[in-house]
Each structure stands twice: as C-alpha cells, then as structure tokens.
Structure 1
Amino acid sequence: KISQIRFEDKYIAIQELHEKENLSIILLCEIAGISRAAYYKWLKRVPTDRELLNEEIMKEMKTLQEKVDGTFGYRQMTLHMNRKFEEDINHKRIYRLMGIANIRSVIRVKKKQSYKPSTPQHAAENVLNREFTAEKPNEKWVTDVTELKYGTKKAYLSAIRDLYDGSIVSYVLGHSNNNNLVFKTLDKATALLNGERPLIHSDRGFQYTSKKFKRKIDKAKMKQSMSRVGRCIDNGPMESFWGTLKCEKYYRRKFTTFEELSLAIDEYIQFYNHERYQKRLNGLSPMEYRAKAA
C-alpha cells in the first residue's frame, strides 16, 4: 500500500499507478497522505542520478522477472542487478524498489516426500558426513532421483550435482524409476572425468545399493557414501536443488506431455548452470565459478 512505503517513494508509486492502472491522482494522493501540489511539484523537478538509476533498475527487474516466470526474490534480484549495472546495490534498496514496482516472487510449494524401504545389496557409510563444501571440481558429488508429473503420468529425474560449485554435472529424465535411469546418469558424469575420482553420495535407494552400481563406482575408482536411514538432511544439497527447480520451473505450469517436461528441464538446468548467480559463489553462476578453477 502507498501509505506503508517510504515518503520519498510515494511520488513514484503514485506516478506508476496512475500511468499503468489509470487511477485518479486525487485518490492516490489522498491514500498516500500528501497534497496534489506536492506531487505536481515533484513531477516537474529534475530527477537525480539516483532516481534515474532506480527507474532503470525497476525496468530491468520487470524484464528479468518475466524471463524467470516470477520466481526471483530480492536476493537473486540483487545479484543480477549488481551484475547488470556493475554497482554494489544494497539488497534493501532492491527490496524497496521491488515493492514500488509490485514485483513479487512466487511462494515455494512444500511437498512431503515418501521413501520406500528397500533391502540393500550393498550399503556404504556416511563418508560425506554433511561436509557440503569441496576444494576443487569433481571432488564431491551428490545424487538423487525425484518424481515429476505430466498429464496423468509420472516421470523421474536423476541428477548428479558437484559440491564445489553446485553445478549439475549430469542428468537423465526417464519414464521409470529404475536402475538404468541412475546408471545412465552416472555413466554420463564419469565420461566427463579427466583422472579425478570423486566421492559420490546418495540416499539408500535401491538403485544406489545395488551391486551393479557398486561395480560402476569401483570401475571409476570412486568412493561411495550414503545417507543414514531416514536422514534426508544428509543429502541436503541435492534436496535443495530439487526444491529450487520445482519452485522456479516445475510448479509454475502444468505439463501435458513428456516432451514438454523434458524441454523445460533442459532449459532450466542450462539456465541454472550458466545464468543463475549465487551469493556463495561471489555472485557468479556455477559454470563461471568452475571456469575460474580451471
């Protein structure tokens, strides 16, 4: 509401609402608790450099928010605006300007996940032990499978994430949650290795406890780690990525075909790896951060 924002921003809000919504200036001034004379005096002033920059920031934020389907909050928006304008713009300023421009992020939908107990053929210790940082690429990987829907059918997305930069190393979308889905994901990831031997961490799903998966791990001379029973947080970074993907892409629309869903996943992971800036990566995207290590 106009009456709840800072006084210096009320004029901007009145101007925006009048131009975009065709609302009465008399009414807007009354709501804001300012005189029409004060508003018109402000309207005729020469804008300061800061005000002009604010206008440009709001335009860029609106364009970006459309691009990402309305999913960015002020933290992501701050990272992107700092990169765009090559300035150190305070997050409080971005938050305030988002309010003026009526830019809001969508609310993440939390869903409970159920796990089917399995009798493992092979089990590994929790070697990762929630140490979710890595010193170099391909040192620590985490992996998991999540369920998605299209129409009345189900699809399953398997992915491997590198803890060094948070990038998705490999992923496979399939019709069935089976061993082949996970094995293909691992094969795609290990094909990219150049002598590295990552630790790979997963939950205790039947695919990861199978003898064939263990043989693939041994062939690549990698070490295996598994979450403790019923401890989802042991694989926290992978759970976090599923939440981000679903919030920013999957929950935003209904998918009717497998092809539509597959294209959306391809687009999002490309965006996530190359264009989604992260504060913990010094404002870089995962691939930009990874390139610096190389």
Structure 2
Amino acid sequence: MARPSKYSAEFRSDAIALWRASAGRRTFKDVAADLNVNPETLRTWVRDAEGRPAAAGAVEGPEGELARLRAENARLAKAEKGMASGAGDPASGSGVFRPGDEVKAAAWDFISAHAETFGIKRICRVLEVSRSGYYRWIAGAEARAARQADEDALVEEIREIHTEHGGNYGALRVHAELRGFGHTVNRKRVARLMRKHHIVGRHLRKKKRTTIPDRLAPPAPDLVRRDFTAGALDEKWCGDITYVQVGASWLYLACVVDMRSRRVLGWSMASHMRTELVTDALRAAVATRGGDVTGVIFHSDRGSQYTSAAFAQVSDEYGIRRSMGRVGSSYDNALAESLWQGLKRETMHKNLFLTMSQARLEIFRWLTYYNTRRRHSALSYLSPLEFEQQHHKEARLSLAA
C-alpha cells in the first residue's frame, strides 16, 4: 500500500495554479524552490492535472475578465493622480538647506565657474570662504566622484531588492539582504539612501477583529501566557483565522505557525468559517512535520472553531495540547496577528480580488514566499525555512561532536 502524500489536495491544486500563473516565465525548479518541493514532484502534479478538466471557476469567463480589467484600470488611474497639495513640502520652521555640504559645494562651484573673470582670491573674500578650503575641494574631486559612483551602485541594488520583494522591504530587511549578498554596509547608510531616494517599504494598516467566541464552550488553559518564544521546533504552535474580500463575498484563511521558526506549517482556505477550516490547517501542519507531533502546544484565541468538540478531537488524535488566550485580547495571540499584518500589508494593499481563484493564488504565492524567501526580523533576518535548515545542521554537528 502506497504511503499517503504529505501534500494535501488543496496544496497541490494551489501549486499547479501558481505554476500556471507564471505563464512560462519561471522554470519548474524556480517555482518548486518557493514551494519547498522537488521540481519533478511539481512537474508530475502539473502533468497529471493536464489530463483532467479544470475546476469550476478556475477559468474566468468574458464577464469576469472584463470586470477584472475594469478594476485594474481604475486602480491604475487612481495611482496616476498627482500628489496631494503640499506633499513633500519641508516641515514648518525647518530649513530647506542644512549648513554644510550643499551650500559649500554651491560656493565652490561658483568659484570654479567665475575664477577666470574675477580671480579666486577676490571671490573667496566676497563669499567669506577660505582659499585653502576651495583647493582642498578641488583636490578631492576624484574621490568624491568615486564615492558618488559607489553610492549610485548601492542605490541601484537597493532598488532591485525592493522591487524583487514587491516593494515590501523596509531599511532593516534591505540591509539584511545586502549583508546576505556579502556587502559590508552600515544600516543607517541604507536607511539614509532609501529616505533620500523615496524608497519606502509597506506600512501597517488598521485591522478588523474577526474572532467570534463561543462563551458556552469550555476553554483550554493558557499555556503560553504571551511568551511566544520556544526552545525547539514543534514545542509551541499557534493558529488563527483571517479573511479577505472577494467581490461581494469572503475568502477565509486559517494558518498554523511554529513559534520557534515562524514557519507557516499548514494552512487552509475556504468560503466558510466552519470548523473544518481550522482542522484542515492543523492536519496540514501535522503532515508537514511527518505525522509525529505528540506533546506540541497549539495556542489560539477562543473563537468557536477552536473551542469546538471537533477541533478538540483532532488535537487529541495527534497528542496536541490545546492552549487559549483571553477573549478579545489580540496580544494573547500576537504572533498570529503579526502574520496577518504582514500578509495584508504586502499583498492586499494592491489587489482587488474579483474571483476566488485569483485570491487563492495570490495568498498561496505569499505564504510560500514567506516561508522560503522573506527575511524575518525575529530570526536574525533569515527566512523561516533557512532558519530551520540551519537549526537541523547545528543539531547534526552537535550529535557528531
């Protein structure tokens, strides 16, 4: 009897959709790397899917396509509008120029331009600057040109990193990416250049509360108590539900996160908030860890899905210890809330989802990117998968010693 696959049908379907969305611009190897699967496995899934009819709703009709194009056109038209009146003006009471290089450089340029007509000595006297300073400026022209060339090259790399990660990275993650490429560069310099050239990462937006507690269901004890650290993988997990608007309806997303590596171990998406949404995500996480997760703590809020008898039964089936925070306190499940903030900040600000397939694909794309490539501040700016690989490597070295 063949061993069951650790990849759910939902995951395989979304992986195939991600490959098809690349439209030949990316290889099987590239897409598989984001999914953390073998390229041949992905190739097999795609090949097998070619022989089956497309799922209902996977192909947009003319009306859906027209609606999508109209929405995209409206978004672009809005983006092209001019900046608000007064945007970018200096703050009240601040100087346009700071006393320093800008004004001095203008003075030295003026002296160079009129030296033959009036003489250097006379101009320096009128401008009340020293001739020695002017000559030092002349002598340093080559060094300044070299520094400017280095700065221009660094800004270009910053732009490439910023663009590659969808405009999401701020100064800290851009700096970590540069260090990962072998650059020795100061973090404050990166922040200054990004500020100077108006390269800005995504900012947090207000969130909407989604937890619907079942006050009659017996809650589990709080085994975490806002301590979202863990000494080992699979010591503590946490989970939560969020939703995104798709046309006039909603798509709901449940995730399970390892508190040690911040990796999203399992997730599930559906057009409902029934208990199977969270049980499917939990089963996917268990499959990711190979099936043996006895003793792991799973922390959640007190939403009715997590206090249900069905969820308790699945948790007991795998030997998972349930933990719950207080009602109405987002801080008691802050790690999961942070994941939702990142997801919405980096994907939903620019997307008006018109079909379920479009929403699923974009969310799936971000979750795989988050696990394999997105640098995490709590992991010394490694991605969750890189952190786990380093963790396993250190464990093997420790055993060998």
Q: Above 0.5 in TM-score?
A: yes
Aligned to 1:57, the other structure's residue is in SS state: helix
Structure 2 CA distance for partners of 1:175 and 1:3, relative to 1, 3 Å: same
Match of 2:390 in 1: 292
**Unaligned ranges ≥5, structure 1:** 11-28
Give the equivalent residue in structure 1 for 2:201. 105
- Cα distance between partner residues in 2 of 1:251 and 1:174: 21
Specify the SS of the correspondent of 1:108: coil
Q: 2:212 — aligned with what?
A: 116
Note closer, same or farther for the CA distance 1:221–1:256 as it changes in structure 2 (3 Å cut): same
**Greater shift in the superposed pair: 64-73 or 153-162:** 64-73
TM-superposed CA distance for 1:3, in Å, is 4.3
Measured against aligned partners, the alpha-carbon deviations of 1:173-209 in whole angstroms (never above 9, x if no partner) come to: 1111111111111111112234333110011111111
Which amino acid letter does the alignment assign opposite residue 73 of structure 1?
Answer: G
What secondary structure, in the 3-state scheme, does the structure 2 residue paired with 1:170 have? strand
In the alignment, structure 1 residue 70 sits paired with structure 2 residue 167: yes
Output aligned runs, 1:176-195, within 5 Å: 176-194=272-290, 195=292
Helix, strand or coil: the match of 2:288?
A: coil
SS class of match (2:106)? coil
* Counterpart residue number, 2:154: 57
8 Å CA contact 1:122–1:211 kept in 2: the answer is: no
Report the AA paired with residue 214 of structure 1: A
Q: Secondary structure at the match of 1:244?
A: helix
Cα distance between partner residues in 1 of 2:265 and 2:280: 12
Give the equivalent residue in structure 2 for 1:155. 251
Compute the displacement of 1:7 (Å).
5.2
CA shift, 1:151, in A, is: 1.6
**Aligned residue-pair number:** 272
In structure 2, runs of 5+ residues without a counterpart are 1-89, 114-136, 393-401
Percent identity, aligned pairs only, is 26
Q: 1:257 to 1:199 in 2, by over 3 A?
A: same
Partner of 1:174 in structure 2? 270
How much has 1:87 moved relative to structure 2?
A: 3.1
Q: Which of 257, 267, 288 is equivalent to 2:365?
A: 267
Q: 1:103 Cα shift?
A: 0.8
Please give the secondary structure, in 2, of the residue aligned with 1:263: helix
CA distance in 2, matches of 1:74, 1:137: 29
Q: Return the TM-score normalized by structure 2.
A: 0.62
Q: Pick closer, same or farther for the CA change 1:189–1:34 going to 2, 3 Å.
A: same
Q: Which runs of 4+ in 1 moved over 3 A?
A: 1-8, 38-53, 119-122
Task: Give 1 or 2 for the bigger CA radius of gyration.
Answer: 2
Choose the corresponding residue for 2:106, options 27, 34, 55: 34
**Residue 267 of structure 2: SS of its match in structure 1?**
strand
1:216 aligns with 2:314: yes
Q: 1:173 to 1:284 in 2, by over 3 A?
A: same
Change (3 A) 1:79 1:120: farther
TM-score w.r.t. the length of structure 1 is 0.83
Q: Secondary structure at the match of 1:191?
A: helix
Shift of 1:90: 2.0
Does the Cα contact within 8 Å between 1:79 and 1:279 map onto a contact in 2? no
Matching residue's letter, 1:54: E
Residue identity matched to 2:166: D
Aligned-partner residue type, residue 67 of structure 1: E
Over aligned residue pairs, what C-alpha RMSD do you find? 2.7
User: Does the Cα contact within 8 Å between 2:173 and 2:381 map onto a contact in 1?
Assistant: no
